Chains A and B, each alone.
Chain A
Amino acid sequence: MDMKKAIVVFVVAALVLATTGLWILSSYGKFKLFDLATFGIIICVVGFAVFVGYKRLTSARRGEPAEDELSKKVLQKTAAWSYYVSLYMWVGILFIKDRVNLDTEELIGTGILGMAVSFAVCWLILNFRGVRNE
Chain B
Amino acid sequence: MNNRIKEYRARYNLTQEDLARKVNVRRETIVFLEKNKYNPSLKLAYDIARVFESQIEDIFIF
What are the residues of chain B within 8 A of A68 when measuring CB–CB?
24-26, 29
In the complex, the answer to whether B40 meets A69 with C-beta atoms within 8 Å is yes
Say yes or no: A62-B17 contact (C-beta < 8 A), given A69-B41, A132-B37. Answer: yes
**Is there contact, CB below 8 Å, between B25 and A64?**
yes
User: Is B21 a contact partner of A59 (Cβ separation < 8 A)?
Assistant: no
Size of the A side of the interface (Cβ < 8 Å), in residues, is 16
Interface of A is mostly: loop
B35 CB within 8 Å of chain A? yes
With beta carbons under 8 angstroms apart, the residue of A65, A129, A133 that contacts B26 is A65
Query: Which chain B residues lie closer than 8 Å to A132 at the CB level?
Result: 36-39
CA distance A132 to B36 in the complex (A): 8
Residue-wise, chain B 28-62 has the 8 Å CB interface mask toward A (1 for contact) of 11001001111111001000000000000000000
Interface assignment of A130: CB less than 8 Å from any CB of chain B? yes
A63-B21, A64-B21 are known contacts. Are A130 and B32 too (CB-CB below 8 A)? Answer: yes
Answer whether residue B27 sits at the interface, using C-beta atoms and an 8 A cutoff.
yes
B14 to nearest A CB, angstroms? 14
**Nearest CB of A to B21, in Å:** 5
Partner of B38, one of A64, A65, A130: A130
Contact among A62, A69, A131, A133 for B21, CB-based, below 8 A:
A62
Query: In the complex, A132→B40 CA distance in Å?
Result: 9
**CB atoms of A70 and B32 under 8 A apart:** yes
A70 and B40 alpha carbons, distance in the complex (Å)? 8
Kindly supply a per-residue 1/0 record for chain A positions 52-70, scoring 1 wherever the CB is within 8 Å of any chain B CB and 0 otherwise.
0000000100111110111
